[in-house]
Chain A
Amino acid sequence: MATQHSRAAARFMISPSVLLLLGWMLIPLGMTIYFSLLRYNLLMPGEHPFVGWENYSYFLSDPAFKIALVNTLLLVGGVLIITVIGGVLLGLLLDQVMWGQGIVRILVIAPFFVMPTVSALVWKNMFMNPVNGLFAYLAKFLGLQPIDFLAQAPLMSIIGIVSWQWLPFATLILLTAMQSLDQEQLEAAEMDGAGPFSRFFYIVVPHLSRAVTVVILIQTIFLLSVFAEILVTTNGGPGNASTNLTYLVYAESLLRFDVGTGSAGGVVAIVLANIVAIFLMRMIGKNLDA
């Protein structure tokens, strides 16, 4: 159907998007790679000599990098475990017959729409604060010693906050997948004598595996870049206890003004994210053919 003429028109219509994204990708990316090879600190005016891999070896051998890398993995892994398991359970729950299903659904989805700085501050002050937070009241009510969550278990606390934000996303996607499950198949299995557990593990779980994969991959992309929650709760501390890779690069670049090292860290972050991205792209690409 497509003629020579419409092809040319199509190319013309697509080109603004392509050119803008190409520029957005190549210019800053090229600059990051270039800066990562220079000794370049905003506090030290003058020349920016070429130093090769020096920034990389400095960044990678910094003890803070190892801590940040472990924290990043714990943060991503912890939130994924909580949201995927919680999402499956909540999805199953919301898929049941009940009164006011639409309203419950709305209540469960709501945290996803709360901006990161608000949810982090509300949790930090009104729940986790060791003096005035609701958790402290609850602890005192139960006769326990209140915990200073963000000082004693900063990373765990941030994992909790971020999980609260992402649980709705996992739930919504898994629920959507569950609702596309063929009910007749389940009923047939039930008639053949399959119990609730074997029905769940042999029919529901295989059906959900694709949605779970999508949830894991998309969340990972976003979770690798968690930033605002850390900035407003702990500033990466105490020490580096809650610093992830994103926060470490931010601190090198905009707090210590070390453009060279910050850029090297940025390249490391890009490489890590790309490993995940490749798997995600394959999943989505397969779907395009279907």
Chain B
Amino acid sequence: MARKVSTRRKAVNTGIAWTVGLLIFFPILWTVLTSFKTEAQAIADPPIWFNFHWTLENYVTVQERSNYFRHFWNSVVISVGSTLIGLAIAVPAAWAMAFVPGKRTKDLLMWMLSTKMLPPVGVLVPIYLLFQRFGLLDTQVGLIIVLTLINLPIIVWMLYTYFREIPVDILEAARMDGAGLKDEVISVLLPMAVPGMASTVLLNIILAWNEAFWTLNLTAAKAAPLTAFIASYSSPEGLFYAKLSAASTMAIAPILIMGWFSQKQLVRGLTFGAVK
């Protein structure tokens, strides 16, 4: 990989790449900056860049007026809950498919993937009516059920591609050394499986946190996660840029940080192993 290039060429590359990178990142940077301004400074003409009086009042106001942390908590419960339940269902399946593959394992995996291709709007009406009927509209439980099901295929797939990379020979070796089934799972397989499971969990929390079809359609005030709560700023009276920015910054910050940690796994997870 070590390619030799002149320092000059490297400097030019660096200049262009940083400019482009900052341009793409700019909307996020601008949102974060605006969240620390007053409303007047936020719409000042000409725009103020850094030399404003930094304030936290927007963060305080957003919380006071709309009970922000309830929605934040809803996002946490729904994304983490659906991921952990999905994991509990998917681990045995992926494990079995990776270590005891049958003739139809491949067909089964492809079929699971195909359920992900179903456009959500195709089942919007029945899900909405079923939710209405069973009192699941605007509840955390309802959203956890839906998000578990829509992300289950991705979880199974990701785990499968990780588990498949665990060398089976090592089990034979452990058995030769006299390890029982329990030792085999706990001290041999588990340590090798944990990194893959961790990446799977991370990516799925991100996907669930940002899911914005079912969360918008199935919640109102009570169970609304941040996706739905922030959508309420689309009304004209929501033209408070500094407060919108504060609410947005808090909504994207945790996921940005998690996302940066999971960027390598992102490719594998989102292409179902087709690009590694």
List chain A positions with a Cβ less than 8 A from chain B.
1-2, 6-7, 9-11, 13-14, 16-18, 20-21, 24-25, 27-29, 31-32, 35, 90, 93-94, 96-101, 103-127, 129, 132, 134, 137, 141, 164, 167-169, 172-173, 176-177, 180, 183, 210-211, 214, 218, 221, 224-225, 227-228, 231-233, 245-246, 249-250, 253-254, 259, 262-263, 265-267, 269-270, 272-274, 276-277, 280-281, 283-285, 287-289
For residue A110, which residues in chain B have a CB less than 8 angstroms away from its CB? 24-25, 28, 256, 259-260
Q: Contact at A231–B259, with CB atoms within 8 Å? A: no
Proximity bits, B241-276, A CB within 8 Å = 1, else 0 = 100110010011001101110010011001111111
| A118, A127, A289 — most chain B CB neighbours (10 Å) | A118
Could you tell me if B43 and A132 are in contact, using CB atoms closer than 8 angstroms? yes
A105 to B233 Cα, complex, angstroms: 31
Among the 9-residue stretches B50-58, B85-93, B185-193, the one with 4 or more Cβ atoms under 8 Å from chain A is B85-93
Which DSSP category, helix, strand, loop or mixed, fits chain B's interface? helix
Q: Give which listed residue, B1, B124, B252, contacts A115 with CB less than 8 A.
A: B252
Q: How far is the CB of B41 from chain A (nearest CB, A)?
A: 12
CB-based contact A227/B100 at 8 Å: no
Residues of B within 8 A of A (CB): 1, 3, 5, 9-10, 13-14, 16-18, 20-22, 24-25, 27-28, 30-31, 34, 43, 45-47, 89-90, 92-93, 95-97, 100-102, 106, 108-110, 112-130, 149-150, 152-153, 156, 168, 206, 209-210, 212-213, 216-217, 226-228, 230-231, 233-234, 239, 241, 244-245, 248, 251-252, 255-256, 258-260, 263, 266-267, 270-276
Residues of B within 8 A of A129 (CB): 239
Contact B21 A183 (CB under 8 A): no
Chain A neighbourhood of B239, CB < 8 A: 125, 129, 132
- Distance A233 CA – B118 CA, assembled complex (angstroms): 25
With a CB–CB cut-off of 8 A, which chain B residues contact A108?
Answer: 20-21, 24-25
What B residues does A167 contact at CB under 8 A?
24
CB–CB A112/B259 < 8 A: yes
Interchain residue pairs A-B with the least CB separation, the first 6: A31-B126, A13-B92, A277-B117, A28-B123, A228-B212, A10-B96
Which of A32, A117, A224, A265 has its CB near the most chain B CB atoms (within 10 A)? A117
Question: Which residues of B are found within 8 Å of A168, using beta-carbon distances?
Answer: 24
12 contacts between A and B (CB under 8 A): A31-B126, A96-B13, A111-B27, A115-B230, A116-B227, A117-B212, A120-B234, A121-B234, A214-B271, A231-B234, A249-B122, A273-B118
Q: Does B20 contact A14, Cβ atoms closer than 8 Å?
A: no
Q: How far is the CA of A191 from the CA of B213 in the complex (A)?
A: 53
Q: A121-B230, A134-B47, A228-B231 are in contact. Are A176 and B267 (CB under 8 A)?
A: yes
Interchain CA distance A11-B129 in the complex, whole Å: 33
Tell me the complex Cα distance, A37–B256, Å: 45
B108 contact set on A, CB distance < 8 A = 14, 18
Report if A280-B126 is in contact (Cβ < 8 Å); known contacts: A228-B216, A285-B106.
no
Cβ B259 vs Cβ A273 within 8 A: no
Cβ distance A171 to chain B, nearest Cβ, rounded Å: 9
Known: A14-B93, A211-B275, A218-B271. A274 touches B28 (CB 8 A): no
Question: Could you tell me if A231 and B231 are in contact, using CB atoms closer than 8 angstroms?
Answer: yes
Chain A residues with Cβ below 8 Å from B234 are: 117, 120-121, 124, 231-233
Report the minimal beta-carbon distance from A59 to chain B, rounded to whole angstroms: 13
Interface contact A266-B30, CB-CB below 8 Å: no
Roughly how many angstroms separate A167 CA and B217 CA in the complex, as a whole number?
26
